[in-house]
Each structure stands twice: as C-alpha cells, then as structure tokens.
Chain A
Amino acid sequence: MDLKLNEDQSMLKKVAGDFLKAEAPSYVITDWFQKKIAYIPELYKKAATVGWLGMVIPEEFGGGGTSYTDCAVVFEEIGRGPLPGPYFTSGVLSPLLILEGGTDAQKKTLIPKICDGSSIIIPAISDDPIQWGARAVQTRLVKANGGFALNGKKRFVFDAEAATSFICAARTDSGEVALVLVERNAHGVSVQHQRGFMIGAAEVSFDNVAVAAADVFGDINSGWAVVERASMKAIPILCAYKVGACQEIFEMTNEYTRTRVVFGQPIGRFQRVQDHCVDISIHLDGARWITYETLWKVDSGIYADANVHQAKAVASEAYYQSCNFSHMVFAGPGTDYKHPLMAHSVLAHTLYQYLGTPLYHKRAMVDALYPRRTSKSAVRS
C-alpha cells in the first residue's frame, strides 16, 4: 500500500504545473472562457512537444507508453486551470478508440499524427442530447456507391471545433453501431458552434457524407463494444481532470475566506461559510480517492468497470457541487464571467453531461455489479 505519487509522477506534476503557470495563468484562462475560446492551437502544439498527447498510447504508435496514473497526474494539473482544449478528446479517448477498434493500418496511420498534434480527431458519439449509451446513437450509415453514406445530426459534440476529423458513431443497416472516420472538411460535414451555458460543444451535421469502406473501424457492427472498452480506460483520466479542478476551487475558496472581510471579520470565521468549504473538501476527496483507486485498478489489470462508472458519477457531481458551494462563498463577484470561478462553473456543467450523466453512470455501476435477471425491468424508467 502506498498512496503517494512516485518520483516520476511528482516530476510530471511539477512540469505540468509550471507549464500552466507560464502558458496559461488563471486570468488568461478566465478570458478564454469568457470569449468562449475552447481551443488555442499554439498551446496545443506546445503540449504535443511536452508529450501530453497520447501519453498512455504505446510508444510504437508514437505515444508516451505511460501508466494511466501517470497520465492522470498531468490531467489533474491541467484540470486546475481549467485548461480548455481537445487534450482529453483527441489526446486520450480517440487514440484508445482506434487502438481498440482499428485495423493495424488505421492504427499506424492515425495514431502517430494524433500524438504529434498534427491531427485532432474528435469522437462524435451520441446524437441524443439527453442520453448516453448505444441507444443515443441515431445517425445512419447506409451502403452507397461501393462505400457508405452517413446522415444525421449530433447536437453536442465536445471539442468539435478543434477537429481535423471525427470518429463518428452511426447505426448500420442491421441496427448495430459502427465507428467511421470522417474528415472535417469532407463534403456534407458542417460544424456549428453551440451557444449557451457550456463551452467547447458544437453541433455536427452529416448530410450524405461519403464514407469509404477503409474508413470503417474494424468489424462494422462492433462499434459500441469498442466505445465501451475505450471509455472504460479513458474516463478515469477525465475524472482526474475534474479532481484537479475541484482542488483549485477548494484552494481558491479557502483563501478567499481569509482575505474577504465583512461584518468586521474574515468570512471564514462564520460557521455557515466554513460549512461550504467542508462540503467542498468532501466532494474533492471523495472524487480524488475513488478516481485514483480506479486508476490503480486499470493499471494493475484488475476488472474495474463498476469503479469507472462510479468515478465518473462521483467526479462529475463533485465538480458541479464544488462550484455551487464555492458560489455560496464568493457570492455576487463569483457570478461575473471575469471571475475565475465562472470558467469552472461553465465547464462543470458541460462535463456533467459529457459521456453520460452521474445518473447514467450510477445505474451502469449497479448493473455491472449486480446484473439484472430479467430483461423486463431493464427497460423500466
């Protein structure tokens, strides 16, 4: 048993922290969020040179060959920013999708470009805005002209605006899910920025997009299984990003209780205010230890599907709730888009939905631990 970071991890953490301080200090990030800038190309290229893209991917494909925990340590640090950009989507999830579902040729041509930052491949999985899971995939893939034609509209695709191409999930003629590679500038693809209390999401439409047979990943009907396998590995990294965000909120809120004086004393002397900080500490530490135990299992080859679902539910809720408790402490000024808390608040709401809500993952956790006996109740609720 050992719950501290090892030497390499401490170094990764320090390098990531220094990088952020130099390249993306809090006020700069706040400004990006205010202007809804979710992708900064120069920074993404620099991140590629320090090896943050494809960290967990084997070196033979141009990745870093690190453990999942190593990668999580970096993501925790960039989550403190919170640094926006396709670091998770293209740097972790997509290469894992390709590794799990791609042919050898696809792996060899696509993954190295992801790792050096020259391609940004974004997963575009669910169509349905209120669901996650195979049933949320509705875009159609039908046979046409010796290849396929893709039709559908995915309303909320995270990091879509940064994409050079998409890994798109679509229904085949047999009703199963296929994964196909689609160039962003292919004829019939359009990307429309989404306005609202969110960041980095865009609507992606596929209007009779031609897809070559070679751009279908693996067995055409095995797409959802690939999404499941890849996300079971990728999600803990996303959770670590949220843990880092919670840590930042925790520290910044605690600090404010020391400096903000009202009614003649620092607000941290008021027990009601203290309670909010205590609640953040619980959400933060719950998310932290559930996430790192899950990462340890993933790295150790221990079956961890239930843990991954649990981590996703806990970390998403922790991020969301930490923002709310922090808002209680920062009060009015914390609701100004110029305040660092607002970047977190907008992102926490976006990530609450991304790859499935806490409710979805809690249910999936229980299903993984205690499979249902009857199909009858599986469709209930």
Chain B
Amino acid sequence: MDFSLQPDTPEISKFRAEVRAWLEQNMRGSEHLRWSARWSTRENDEEYQFRRRLAAKLGQKGWLFPTFPVQYGGAGLSLDHQFVLETEIDRYGLPLGAVFYTLARLVAPAVLKFGTEAQKQEFLPPMLRGEPAVWQVLTEPQGGSDVATCQTKAIRDGDYYIVNGQKTMVGHHLPPDFLWTLVCTNPGGKRHENLGWLYIPANLPGVTIQHLHLMMGIKNSVFFDNVRVPVKYLVGGENNGWKVANSYLELEHGGGGSVTENPLFKRLITHCEKTEFDGESLMEDQDVRDVIADMLIDLDVQRLMGLRNFWHRYVRDPHPYGGPQFLYYQRMVRLRNSERVQQILGYDALAPDSSVHEEADFEYTVRAGPGWMHGGGTLDTDRLIIARRLGLGRPSQESAPTTV
C-alpha cells in the first residue's frame, strides 16, 4: 500500500513544480486575505472578488476540472495530476472544488455523464471556466430528507417546463446564477420514476429567493411561481431524475472523498500552547491533552475515511458503504469537537474571532457541531443508507452508485 499524496514520477514532480510556481504568481496579493470557509458569511468583497478571478484563471487552464475532456474546457489530466492540484491549492487554505461559491463540482460530472452532446457543449465550458455560481436546490419544506417525495412540479408546455413549488435550506449568502433542481415531471407517476433534473437559470421571472438565518449561517428558501424553463435545461431525460441524483448525490454524500487537512486542530494546539492557566500553558495540562488525543484520533480516522473514498472514486471502484459512512462519521466528529473546544477553552469557545478562517474559528465550531448535522439528509438517513448497502436484514446488498 502507498498512502503518500505526493506521487514522485518525474512527470508528476514536474507538474507539481509548475502548479506551485503558477500558484505563487497568481496568489500574489492575497497574503492579507483569510480565505473564509466555503460557505462563509464573514468574507469581505475583496476576498470574494479575488476568489472569482482565481477561479477564472484556474478555469482557463482547465485546472478546476483537471480530469475533464479538453473539448469541454477540462485539462484531460490524470488522477495524479488532480491530487497535485488539490494538495497544492490546499496549502493556501482553499479547496479546489470550491475556489469560489459554486457547487459546479457536483453538477458538472452529472452533466458529463447524463447530458446530451448539445447540453455538454453549452453547459460545461462556463462551469469549467469557473464562471457561474451554481446552487444545489433539493430539499422541500414537507420532504426534508425524503428527497424523492418532491412536490415541485415541472409540467411540459411546448418548448418549456412550467415550474411551480418551493425549495428550502439551500444555497448561501451570495446570489446564484443557476439552480440545479429536482422537479416532479410526472405528478401521477411511480415514486423514483416521476422526477426530472432541471438546470434553471436563476434570473428567470417567477424565481424568488429569501434568506433564512440559521445556526450555522445563511441559507435560503427558493420559490418557483409559474417559471417558464426552456426544455433544453432538462438533463438526463424526462422522469429519469432519480438516476441522475443517485450518481451525484453519492459525491455529496462523501463518496468523492477528500485529501485536505483540518485547520481547526492546528489552531487549537497553537491556542493551548499560548494560553496560560495556573502558571503553565494549557498544553501541559493532562486533562487538556486527553481531550486533544481523542480529537486527533477522530480527525485522523475521518481523514483516512476521506482518503479511502477518494481512492475508490478514482480507481472507479465505488466503496460499498464508504460514502454515507464518511458523511455520518464527519458529522459525529464535528459534534464531539463542538463540545471539546468548550471543554478546553471555557467561555472563549462561545466568542467568535472573525479574523480567522471560519473552519478554524472556535465559536463557529461550537455552532457547526449541532448545526451541520442535517445537510444532504439527516444522520439517521446516513445510517439507513449504510444499512442498505450492507444488506442488513435483506437477502442482497444495495450497491453504491458509480460516482461520476
């Protein structure tokens, strides 16, 4: 086995040197920026603009989607190259998949797999260039984790779908360009065979977006009131939406894996080394060290589960239950860490420090524990999916969808 993230073939080292030099040049001027979290409410406009410009520059080289075909704006590179890009940009505290606020990383693979040639040629190049901000718009007020119960209707009317309904708990504080949406294309049809995927331009008349102020930040409700969406935006064909969903929800549900580091732990250690209590630093206190030990173990297991899923995805051999297992574990770890920082820091854990990256902020960590347990389905949904993949109480095991 080889767990190293730094492949050392001559070709790859050359590519790493190229990427590192490119980033040094193109990250210039960002030294004072903090790189807030992926979906932060604390960034300033300067940071946002920098990220959009950077995304555009990376997109120009095909580096936002390095393994995508060149004809759609990808770089046609290998898994090893993708590793290099992900780890090199992570050195700046930015995740490659979300250099700026978009979920195109989830949408583009689905379009590549299920789109028609015309759709690929129209939708992919802008996404791969890092231009549109795309929201994933799934949850409905009555449905919650039960996404397939979708009540938002899209009824065919000539060259258009007329969309009516409401989604909630979606997006973030900045406006979207496109909404990637599950809709009901056949209201009388059988469950799982009555849905369609619509890629809806957010500026169409009848789309209304309202902020929701939640424990972990800002999300939104989206209302569709007789929105006329051209049929070319239906991806995967009529009533085939569940299949499209399954391929890419596995990505959202942890199946994509991850190779990045956790910034919270590093900051906690620095804090404990600097903070004095009873004549010595917190880091010398055995109780503090014991909490840190448990936290480190949790984070390392999480890191390795992410690494495992990443590897399974790229060798095109989906782990049977690794995706939902990672998601479940990550949320439980976040919840435990929420209490751990309170145990170590006392009241300081409840006071935000807006000068740091959101994921490294203690107050955010406290809120994010209980707050981020539900995105993409509840903890209990995760466990249900794992149980089906393990075939518990069933004669056969449900297989993991191939991630795209």
Binding site for B on A (CB under 8 A): 1-5, 69, 254, 257-258, 265-271, 273-275, 277-278, 281-282, 285-286, 289-290, 292-293, 295-297, 300, 310, 313-314, 359, 362-363, 365-367, 369-370, 372-374, 376-377, 380-381
Task: Give the nearest-CB partner of A267 in chain B.
Answer: B393
Contacts of B290 in A (CB 8 A): 359, 362-363, 366
Which of A258, A278, A286, A362 contacts B293 (CB under 8 A)? A362
Known: A1-B4, A1-B83, A292-B1. A376 touches B280 (CB 8 A): yes
CB atoms of A277 and B387 under 8 A apart: yes
Can you show 22 pairs from A to B with CB atoms below 8 A apart? A1-B7, A69-B1, A258-B392, A258-B394, A269-B392, A269-B393, A271-B380, A273-B392, A274-B392, A281-B386, A282-B301, A289-B304, A292-B1, A300-B4, A313-B293, A362-B297, A366-B293, A366-B296, A370-B289, A370-B292, A373-B284, A377-B286
Query: Are A271's CB and B304's CB within 8 A?
Result: no
Chain A nearest CB: distance from B34 CB in Å?
Answer: 26
A-B contacts at CB below 8 angstroms, number:
145
Residues of B within 8 A of A (CB): 1-5, 7, 83, 269, 280-281, 283-286, 289-290, 292-294, 296-297, 300-301, 304-305, 307-308, 311-312, 321-322, 325, 328-329, 380, 383-384, 386-387, 390-395
List 7 A-B pairs, minimum CB-CB distance, nearest first: A268-B393, A268-B392, A289-B304, A274-B387, A362-B293, A286-B301, A266-B393
Asked if residues B384 and A271 are in contact (CB atoms below 8 Å), the reply is yes
B304 engages A365 (CB within 8 Å): no
Identity of the chain B residue whose Cβ is nearest the Cβ of A361 in the assembled complex? B293
Report how far A365 CA is from B294 CA in the complex, Å. 10
Given A1-B3, A293-B3, A277:B308 Cβ within 8 A: no
A359 to B, closest residue via Cβ: B290
Task: Tell whether, in the assembled complex, residue B392 and residue A290 are in contact, meaning their CB atoms are under 8 Å apart.
Answer: no
**A365 vs B83: C-alpha distance in the bound complex, in angstroms?**
29
Q: CA separation between A9 and B191, bound complex, in Å?
A: 46
Q: Which residues of A contact B307 (CB under 8 A)?
A: 1, 3, 289
Assess whether B281 is in contact with A373, with CB atoms less than 8 Å apart: yes
A289 and B393 within 8 A (CB):
no
Q: Is the CB of B393 within 8 A of A257?
A: yes
Complex: how many Å from CA A117 to CA B294? 40
Pick from A267, A289, A293, A367 the residue with the most CB of B within 10 Å: A289
B311 x A1 contact (CB < 8 A): yes
CB-contact partner of B383 in A5, A266, A271, A359, under 8 A: A271
Using Cβ atoms and an 8 Å threshold, which residues of chain A touch B391? 254, 258, 268
A269 to B322, CA, bound (A): 20
Q: Shortest beta-carbon distance, A133 to chain B, in Å?
A: 15
Besides the contacts A268-B387, A282-B301, what 7 more A-B pairs have beta carbons closer than 8 Å?
A1-B3, A277-B392, A278-B386, A289-B304, A295-B1, A366-B292, A377-B285
With the chains together, A374 CA to B285 CA distance in Å? Answer: 10
Contact A290 B384 (CB under 8 A): no
Q: Are B289 and A366 in contact (CB under 8 A)?
A: yes
CB distance from A360 to the nearest CB of B (A): 11
A369–chain B nearest beta-carbon distance, Å: 8
Contact of A281 among B312, B390, B394, B395 (CB under 8 A): B390
Query: Are A257 and B392 in contact (CB-based, < 8 A)?
Result: yes
Partner of B394, one of A268, A270, A363, A377: A268
- Return the contact of A2 from the options B2, B269, B285 (Cβ within 8 A): B2
A287 (CB) vs chain B CBs: closest residue: B301
Do A285 and B3 form a contact, CB below 8 Å, given A1-B83, A377-B280, A377-B285? no
**Which A residues are CB-close (under 8 A) to B1?**
2-5, 69, 292, 295-296
- Cα(A296)–Cα(B297), bound, Å: 18
Assembled-state Cα–Cα distance A281/B7 (Å)? 30
What chain B residues lie within 8 Å of A314 (beta carbons)?
297, 301
Residues of B within 8 A of A286 (CB): 297, 301, 304-305
List of A residues within 8 angstroms of B269 by Cβ: 370
Chain A nearest CB: distance from B350 CB in Å? 25
A160 to chain B, nearest CB (A): 31
Q: How far is the CA of A313 from the CA of B290 in the complex (A)?
A: 13
Most buried by A among B283, B284, B328, B394: B284
CB distance B3 to A271 under 8 Å? no
CA distance in complex: A363, B285 (Å): 12
Among candidates B281, B387, B393, B395, residue contacting A278 with C-beta atoms closer than 8 Å: B387
